[in-house]
């Protein structure tokens, strides 16, 4: 016969229990087996079978050991009766998810609202993070791009804050520095490509031979420039990937082909990869600079360098400043002076890390947006948390039954969290889709003003961050309601009074969440309003010229088309020709238009007011044709405009703006006085025009001097390749007139293209693109936030009203008027609004200083905005509370009391 004791003990030993406990369990189980054996033999089983069956009931399989293990070791783990297979955390996920899905299907409205809310919150975050990730976080697409820097010079005493480099300065810096592995210079330019197809104006960059070496990028076809190509001025060109694709159909045999660029036969030597987009994404070809180390001006070059390992931008600044100072001491002309700079002069180089230079300005606005969408997400979470909390009350019964039937608390909480994580996941999936679509729209609408925005994608990193945000969100809005639901479930079977206390605690939680929502949305509203007001102020500034009806375009003439006079004749003929085009009020040419990004500054001297020392005051020089001021809507204040007779051979004349006239001739006797530039010839002032802004609306007016194009030609144009002028046309129909203008240009010279056709409004808008984007997004987000907060308020107020229905009924029965019931609910809403407003105002007061540098003409604590938005918030809250309040007022005591 079986030895019962031995059989049981064998199994218990595995548990390694304390000896006394083991003995106790053994004794109890042994009794059971013996009793059972007795019973079985009595019922007629033979001894052997009875013994086997009795032992088997206790010892068969693993059940006893596994369950004892749980009970004896872990103590609090739940015991599962009669289970047949092991379950673990992962295996429970399937049923949990299925259960949660069933729950979502049962409450489609609830689920839809929750998922949409989360989608808005996560979508906004994905959108902004995809911009932040690409623009700010990812490095530039060049090897070891952190070593790339940009270099210009500064000499504040000489009238201009920053200067470009001259050929001579560049050569000295390149040869004398100890900081750079390689150093090059470039300048933006443009050239007309003629030949087999129609003439086309292309944006080009003139670069020194080491330019591509600095960036460490190799061409995908052919080669880049050799050192002797910058010296000899050989006619070779490197094409951008875009141009190669667009104009040459990605022809793999392109290297060696000859193109006609600026009327010069030029040989293609290479094609750069698509990722190489410097100095600008719109640069289409690179041509070598013919470097003249003796040329002391103009200062049109920008330096780019690759720092040696372990050299910081700061030490490179010190090093190159030393080289520059020595060069200026040796040859003062290198900085446009006659005497060496005194010790302690502000002459220096400015070395900026390339990435900072490219994206520095957009950094803060993007971070502000990221914080704003963070707020939107928090508000969304609070909304969903409130929804879940309101459901908590409804689910009390379900949870209490499950608890009573033996569900472990941890399982129930996990189930509730699974539900919220599932909501978050659906929301995130929808949010990513929305973000993906809106990213395309945003880059299309605002693509031009913001660096690298066209590279923004929803990348793996973005998705990873989204995943983290989703889990965070799910836990954030899910955990409080889950604990709350569980706690309420525990208290099931409580009487109504206890229930209402639990309900009260719940309502307090609801209210706190609403207050937080209202506060956060107020912060966003205030931030957005400040930005909008600032932008409105900026846009309200009169730039000094007409914007709506002025059409501008570049009309470049090839430099080698005979002499300069031939080119000037082209413009004269064109202007003459345009006079007969119906719809054109005025037309003129100019060397530059405001906000085009191209400004030519030079020193100027007024006869009798020459500076005593070495200073050379600067002014913006613009070369124009007669009629320019009329075409641009710039007022002629005194004197006369240029005439066709102000040409070569006639007395030299100039117009100045009011800024210069006021500065030198406060008595108003500027007309007839003489003024000159750095060159020795004097120009007689024949007129005074109103001032214009041409770089930044927010800044003061810069002084301007205007010259006649027939006297000064292309002296202030953009350089060798660019014998070009802007055409400005004043017309009521800017877009409709373009074909006629194109036709007239072709009539005068069929090899002259037109390029960059824009109204002045568009020119200014391009400048303000990034600000527009930030305003647009920030405003959208704050409106979304306000809507979410209003929905949240509505939900919570409805909940209040329905949970207090019997109270209202009793009050109604006791004689309270509907008006007083309405008021009592509205008062509740106002309380929430008041608290939210106070919190929001305090938050804004602390946070808006982060956008101080983005604001123009508006204080970060603008009283009108703070008051206005606070009132708006309160009004919205009252509106959101109104319909629940009406429901309370209409409570029919009889109906409610009968049902309760």
Partner 1 sequence: MNEQELKRGSTEMLILALVEDRPRHGYEIAKLIESRSEGVLQFHAASLYPLLYRMEKRGLIRGRWVEKAGQRRRRYYKLTAAGQKILAEQRRTWADFFVALNRVAGISNA
Shortest Å, Cβ 501 to partner 1? 19
Q: Check if the beta carbon of residue 231 is closer than 8 Å to that of residue 163.
A: no
**Beta strand pairing status for 683-689 and 674-676?**
antiparallel
Q: Check if the beta carbon of residue 552 is closer than 8 Å to that of residue 799.
A: no
Shortest Å, Cβ 364 to partner 1? 54
Q: Output 26 or 217, the one with its CB closest to partner 1.
A: 26
Sign of CA dihedral 774, 780, 784, 790: positive
Closest CA to 206 of 235, 180, 181: 235
Residue 685, classed as helix, strand or coil, is strand
Applying CB under 8 A, the residues found at the interface with partner 1 are 24-25, 28-29, 31-33, 35-36, 57-61, 63-64, 67-68, 70-72, 75-76, 78-83, 95, 400-402, 404-407, 411, 492-493
Shortest Å, Cβ 407 to partner 1? 5
Shortest Å, Cβ 67 to partner 1? 4
Q: Which residues touch 581 (CB under 8 Å, ≥6 apart)?
A: 737, 740, 741, 744
Closest CA to 535 of 861, 866, 855: 855
Q: Output 72 or 455, the one with its CB closest to partner 1.
A: 72
> E strand or H helix at 129, and its extent?
helix 108-131
Q: Output 491 or 746, the one with its CB closest to partner 1.
A: 491
Shortest Å, Cβ 892 to partner 1? 28
Shortest Å, Cβ 97 to partner 1? 14
Identify the residue whose tokens are 């109906």. Answer: 895
Give the Cα separation of 757 and 726 in Å (integer). 10
Shortest Å, Cβ 274 to partner 1? 57
Shortest Å, Cβ 885 to partner 1? 36
Residue 120's CB is within 10 A of a number of other CB atoms, namely 25
Identify the residue whose tokens are 């007139």. Answer: 737
Sign of CA dihedral 685, 687, 690, 693: negative
For 13, 434, 838, the CA distances from 6, given in Å and listed in that order, are 10, 69, 76
Q: Output 70 or 213, the one with its CB closest to partner 1.
A: 70
Peptide bond before residue 284 is cis, with ω within 30 degrees of 0: no
Shortest Å, Cβ 13 to partner 1? 16
Q: Output 410 or 867, the one with its CB closest to partner 1.
A: 410
Shortest Å, Cβ 81 to partner 1? 5
Q: Output 95 or 651, the one with its CB closest to partner 1.
A: 95
Q: Output 309 or 497, the one with its CB closest to partner 1.
A: 497
Q: What angle do CA 411, 415, 418 make, to 5 degrees?
A: 135
For 6, 8, 43, 51, 57, the CA distances from 38, given in Å and listed in that order, are 18, 17, 9, 9, 14
Shortest Å, Cβ 18 to partner 1? 14
Shortest Å, Cβ 794 to partner 1? 33
Q: Output 28 or 576, the one with its CB closest to partner 1.
A: 28
Beta strands in 398-506 (DSSP E): none
> E strand or H helix at 355, and its extent?
helix 354-404
Give the Cα separation of 141 and 847 in Å (integer). 34
Peptide bond before residue 3 is cis, with ω within 30 degrees of 0: no
Q: Output 402 or 766, the one with its CB closest to partner 1.
A: 402
Shortest Å, Cβ 406 to partner 1? 3
Q: Output 56 or 112, the one with its CB closest to partner 1.
A: 56
Measured in whole angstroms, the distance separating CA 108 from the mean position of its chain's CA atoms is 35
Give the Cα separation of 9 and 575 in Å (integer). 113
**Beta strand pairing status for 605-606 and 653-657?**
unpaired
Strand partners, 268: 237
Shortest Å, Cβ 51 to partner 1? 14
Shortest Å, Cβ 494 to partner 1? 11
Q: Output 68 or 588, the one with its CB closest to partner 1.
A: 68
Beta strands in 272-357 (DSSP E): 285-288, 302-307, 348-353
Q: Which residues touch 683 (CB under 8 Å, ≥6 apart)?
A: 652, 653, 654, 674, 675, 676, 707
Give the Cα separation of 615 and 880 in Å (integer). 66
Q: Check if the beta carbon of residue 363 is closer than 8 Å to that of residue 351.
A: no
Q: Output 410 or 735, the one with its CB closest to partner 1.
A: 410
Q: Output 19 or 540, the one with its CB closest to partner 1.
A: 19
> E strand or H helix at 243, and its extent?
helix 241-248
Q: What angle do CA 881, 885, 889 make, to 5 degrees?
A: 170
Q: Output 61 or 815, the one with its CB closest to partner 1.
A: 61
Q: Output 404 or 650, the one with its CB closest to partner 1.
A: 404
**Cα-flanking dihedrals φ and ψ of residue 587, to 5°?**
-140, 145
Give the Cα separation of 107 and 100 in Å (integer). 11
């Amino acid at each position: 016969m079986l030895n019962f004791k031995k059989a049981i003990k064998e199994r218990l030993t595995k548990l390694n229990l304390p000896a006394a406990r083991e003995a106790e369990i053994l004794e109890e189980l042994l009794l059971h087996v013996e009793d059972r054996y007795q019973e079985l033999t009595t019922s007629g089983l033979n001894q052997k079978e009875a013994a086997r069956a009795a032992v088997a009931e206790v010892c068969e399989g693993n059940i006893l050991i596994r369950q004892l293990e749980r009970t004896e070791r872990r103590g609090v783990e739940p015991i599962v009766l009669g289970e047949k297979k092991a379950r673990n955390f992962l295996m429970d996920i399937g049923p949990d998810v299925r259960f949660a899905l069933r729950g979502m299907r049962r409450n489609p409205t609830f689920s839809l609202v929750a998922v949409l809310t989360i989608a808005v919150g996560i979508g906004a975050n994905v959108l902004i993070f995809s911009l932040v990730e690409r623009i700010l976080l990812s490095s530039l697409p060049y090897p070891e791009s952190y070593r790339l820097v940009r270099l210009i010079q500064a000499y504040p005493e000489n009238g201009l804050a920053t200067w470009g480099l001259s050929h001579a300065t560049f050569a000295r810096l390149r040869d004398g520095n100890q900081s750079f592995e390689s150093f090059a210079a470039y300048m933006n330019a443009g050239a007309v490509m003629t030949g087999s197809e129609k003439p086309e104006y292309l944006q080009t960059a003139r670069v020194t031979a080491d330019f591509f070496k600095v960036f460490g990028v190799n061409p995908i076809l052919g080669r880049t420039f050799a050192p002797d190509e910058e010296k000899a001025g050989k006619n070779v060109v490197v094409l951008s990937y875009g141009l190669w694709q667009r104009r040459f159909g990605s022809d793999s045999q392109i290297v060696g082909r000859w193109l006609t660029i600026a009327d010069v036969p030029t040989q293609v030597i290479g094609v750069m990869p698509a990722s190489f987009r410097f100095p600008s994404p719109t640069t289409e070809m690179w041509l070598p600079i013919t470097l003249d180390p003796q040329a002391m001006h103009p200062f049109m070059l920008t330096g780019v360098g690759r720092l040696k390992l372990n050299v910081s931008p700061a030490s490179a600044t010190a090093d190159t400043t030393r080289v520059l100072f020595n060069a200026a001491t040796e040859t003062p002309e290198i900085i446009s002076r006659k005497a060496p700079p005194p010790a302690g002069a502000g002459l220096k180089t400015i070395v900026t890390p390339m990435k900072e230079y490219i994206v520095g300005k957009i950094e803060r606005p993007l971070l502000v947006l990221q914080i704003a969408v963070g707020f939107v997400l928090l508000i969304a979470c609070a909304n969903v948390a409130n929804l879940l909390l309101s459901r908590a009350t409804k689910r009390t019964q379900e949870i209490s039954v499950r608890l009573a039937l033996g569900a472990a608390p941890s399982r129930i909480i996990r189930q509730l969290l699974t539900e919220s994580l599932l909501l978050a996941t659906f929301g995130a999936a929808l949010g990513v889709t929305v973000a993906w679509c809106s990213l395309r729209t945003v880059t299309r609408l605002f693509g031009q003003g913001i660096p690298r925005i066209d590279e923004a994608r929803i990348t793996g990193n973005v998705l990873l961050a989204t995943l983290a945000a989703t889990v965070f969100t799910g836990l954030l809005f899910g955990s409080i309601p889950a604990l709350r639901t569980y706690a309420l479930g525990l208290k099931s079977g409580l009487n109504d009074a206890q229930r209402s206390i639990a309900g009260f605690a719940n309502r307090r939680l609801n209210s706190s969440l609403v207050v937080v929502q209202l506060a956060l949305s107020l912060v966003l509203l205030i931030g957005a309003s400040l930005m909008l007001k600032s932008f409105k102020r900026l846009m309200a500034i009169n730039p000094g010229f007409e914007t709506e009806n002025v059409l501008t375009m570049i009309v470049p003439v090839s430099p080698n088309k005979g002499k300069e006079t031939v080119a000037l004749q082209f413009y004269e003929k064109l202007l003459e020709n345009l006079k007969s085009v119906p719809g054109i009020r005025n037309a003129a040419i100019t060397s530059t238009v405001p906000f085009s990004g191209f400004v030519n500054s030079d020193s100027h001297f007024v006869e009798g007011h020459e500076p005593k020392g070495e200073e050379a005051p600067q002014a913006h020089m613009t070369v124009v044709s007669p009629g320019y001021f009329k075409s641009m809507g710039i007022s002629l204040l005194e004197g006369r405009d240029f005439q066709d007779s102000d040409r070569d051979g006639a007395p030299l004349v100039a117009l100045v703006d009011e800024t210069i006239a006021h500065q030198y001739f406060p008595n108003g006797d500027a007309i007839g006085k003489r003024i000159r530039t750095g060159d020795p010839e004097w120009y007689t002032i024949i007129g005074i025009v109103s001032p214009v802004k041409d770089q930044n609306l927010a800044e003061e007016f810069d002084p301007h001097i205007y010259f006649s194009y027939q006297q000064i030609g292309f002296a202030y144009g953009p350089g060798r390749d660019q014998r070009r002028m802007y055409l400005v046309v004043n017309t009521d129909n800017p877009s409709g007139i373009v074909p006629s203008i194109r036709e007239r240009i072709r009539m005068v010279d069929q090899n002259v293209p037109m390029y960059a056709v824009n109204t002045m409004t568009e020119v200014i808008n391009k400048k303000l693109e990034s600000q527009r984007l930030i305003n647009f997004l920030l405003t959208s987000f704050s409106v979304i936030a306000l809507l979410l907060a209003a929905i949240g308020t509505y939900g919570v107020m409805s909940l209040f009203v329905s949970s207090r229905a019997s109270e209202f009924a009793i009050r109604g029965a006791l004689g309270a008027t509907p008006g007083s019931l309405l008021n009592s609910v509205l008062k509740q809403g106002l309380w929430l609004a008041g608290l939210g407003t106070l919190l929001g105002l305090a938050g804004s007061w602390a946070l808006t200083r982060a956008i101080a540098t983005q604001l123009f003409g508006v204080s970060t604590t603008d009283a009108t905005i703070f008051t206005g938005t606070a009132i708006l918030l309160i009004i919205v809250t009252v509106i959101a509370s109104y319909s629940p309040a009406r429901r309370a007022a209409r409570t029919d005591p009889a109906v409610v009391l009968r049902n309760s």
